[in-house]
């Protein structure tokens, strides 16, 4: 199969008919580099335009949402809400209202076009939905599964096989869902599902870390960037585990806030991680690279813990990620990355 690299926005929000000739014949690791819109949800009533900012960059893209199993003030029973943490007021949106129903028009338009134009499927998924679930309670995971069941015709899936090791081809649809893939999540989204039934969400791979007991903080930081990709992940992707998620501190010691000049050694480290991920069949994501002032952080909701200190430093790393073939590139600065 000839690989074709994603090089720009193929569709604009509200203008779905304007599709360029960019196409991926099959959605596989290493084919596309997408914006991963980090923490793309309101935070205690602030920054409610985050998803609009992300969608304004155009499709395809990835959107990260946090989900909490909580009992908001004045309510009697817990439910799944889009939030990072408490206190919960009851005004927090649901996964359905905040994400799925917001995208309904675009998704249904794409599905309708696919009835008459097989090439439309080459552009799926339009959105990779990354669910950061803040607890692992079975009731919460089952609640999320119930939501995804209602939208299953929109979701990129793969059929359950006789063995989880037997990776099946993805059946692309407009949305693909990723999650951590804990034991509870794997059980509910894979193990309890009959052979031939669709896997609605995919988990990330198991990773190993260096033994840093007795080390100073500087030694720990250095150990993380010197730990080989082969030691970090030693099993190939299977039918359920399809992606690898990394903090930036496995690339540069100390992560974004401690970064210095981008060096050839940094470049080599990044490329070695990406190459190993793709060799094993995983999509790979790195979080999170920002470059902003403190004022921007407050007004726009940018996370200071991921700040490289300047937009030039951030852009240099974004470009390096694209050139290395990172599949999902996380940042809070959606629009600037889109440009």
d(CA 97, CA 165): 35
246 sits in which H/E element: strand 241-247
Q: 17 Cβ partners below 8 Å, 6+ apart?
A: none
pLDDT, mean of residues 307-335: 98
Question: Which of 7-21, 78-92, 214-228, 275-289 is predicted with the least confidence, judged by mean pLDDT?
Answer: 7-21
Helices (H), the chain: 50-55, 95, 101-114, 138-150, 183-186, 217-226, 229-232, 264-280, 294-300, 311-324, 334-338
Alpha helices in 77-216 (DSSP H): 95, 101-114, 138-150, 183-186
Q: Please tell me what DSSP assigns to residue 170.
A: P
Domain, as residue range, for 43: 34-338
pLDDT, tens digit (0-9, with 9 covering 90-100), for 30-60: 999 999 999 999 999 899 999 999 999 999 9
The Cα–Cα gap between 100 and 231 comes to: 38
Residue 18 maps to a domain: no
Query: Would residue 263 count as lying in a domain?
Result: yes
Distance (Å, whole) CA 305 – CA 248: 11
Handedness of CA 10, 337, 247, 253 (dihedral sign): positive
Distance (Å, whole) CA 56 – CA 251:
29
State how far the Cα of 140 lies from the Cα of 120, in Å rounded to an integer.
34
CB atoms within 10 A of CB 150: 10
Opening angle at CA 35, ends 284 and 248, nearest 5: 50
The answer to the question of residue 256 being in a domain is yes
Q: Over the stretch 251-277, which tens digit does the pLDDT of each residue have?
A: 999 999 999 999 999 999 999 999 999
CATH number at residue 294: 3.20.20
Q: How far is it between the farthest Cα atoms of the chain?
A: 63
The per-residue pLDDT for 73 is 83
Confidence band for 27, pLDDT divided at 50, 70 and 90: confident
Please provide the average confidence, as pLDDT, over all residues in the chain. Answer: 92
The pLDDT tens digits for 95-152 are 999 999 999 999 999 999 999 999 999 999 999 999 999 999 999 999 999 999 999 9
Judge whether 50 and 59 are in contact, CB under 8 Å.
no
Place of tokens 């008919």: 17
In a domain, 272, yes or no: yes
H-run or E-run covering 176: strand 175-179
Nearest CA among 305, 174, 167 for reference residue 247:
305
In a domain, 245, yes or no: yes
Cα 264 versus chain centre, distance: 27
Tokens of 227: 């730990």
Q: Report residue 272 as tokens.
A: 């070695």
What's the rounded Cα separation, in Å, for the pair 224 and 238? 25
Q: What is the mean pLDDT of residues 181-191?
A: 98
- Per the model's pLDDT, the better-predicted residue between 18 and 220 turns out to be 220
pTM: 0.92
* Residue 334 within a domain: yes
Residue with tokens 């205690």: 44
Residue 21 lies in a domain: no
**Residue found by looking up tokens 């952080």 in the block:** 297
Q: Is residue 296 part of a domain?
A: yes
Say how many domains are in the chain. 1
């Amino acid at each position: 199969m000839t690989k074709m690299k994603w090089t720009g926005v193929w569709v604009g929000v509200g203008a779905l008919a304007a599709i360029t000739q960019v196409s991926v014949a099959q959605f596989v690791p290493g084919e596309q580099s997408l914006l991963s819109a980090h923490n793309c949800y309101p935070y205690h009533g602030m920054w409610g335009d985050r998803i609009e900012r992300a969608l304004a960059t155009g499709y395809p893209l990835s959107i990260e949402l946090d989900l909490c199993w909580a009992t908001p003030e004045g309510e009697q029973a817990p439910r799944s809400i889009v939030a990072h943490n408490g206190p919960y007021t009851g005004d927090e949106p649901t996964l359905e209202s905040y994400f799925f129903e917001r995208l309904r028009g675009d998704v249904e338009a794409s599905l309708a076009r696919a009835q008459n134009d097989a090439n439309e499927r080459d552009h799926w998924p339009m959105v990779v939905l990354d669910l950061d679930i803040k607890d692992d309670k079975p009731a919460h995971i089952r609640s999320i599964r119930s939501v995804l069941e209602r939208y299953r015709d929109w979701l990129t899936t793969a059929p359950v096989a006789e063995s989880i090791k037997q990776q099946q081809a993805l059946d692309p649809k407009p949305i693909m869902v990723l999650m951590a893939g804990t034991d509870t999540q794997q059980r509910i989204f894979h193990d309890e599902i009959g052979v031939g039934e669709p896997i609605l969400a995919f988990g990330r791979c198991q990773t190993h870390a260096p033994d840093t007991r007795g080390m100073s903080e500087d030694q720990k930081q250095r150990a993380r960037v010197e730990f080989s990709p082969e030691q970090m992940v030693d099993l190939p992707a299977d039918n359920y585990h399809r992606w690898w998620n990394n903090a930036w501190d496995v690339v540069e010691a100390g992560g974004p806030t401690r970064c210095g000049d981008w060096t050839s050694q940094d470049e080599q480290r990044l490329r070695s991680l990406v190459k190993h991920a793709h060799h094993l069949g995983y999509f790979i994501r790195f979080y999170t690279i920002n470059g902003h002032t403190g004022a921007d952080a407050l007004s726009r909701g940018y996370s200071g813990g991921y700040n490289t200190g300047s937009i030039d430093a951030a852009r240099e790393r974004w470009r390096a990620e694209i050139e290395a073939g990172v599949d999902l590139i996380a940042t809070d600065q959606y629009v600037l990355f889109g440009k």
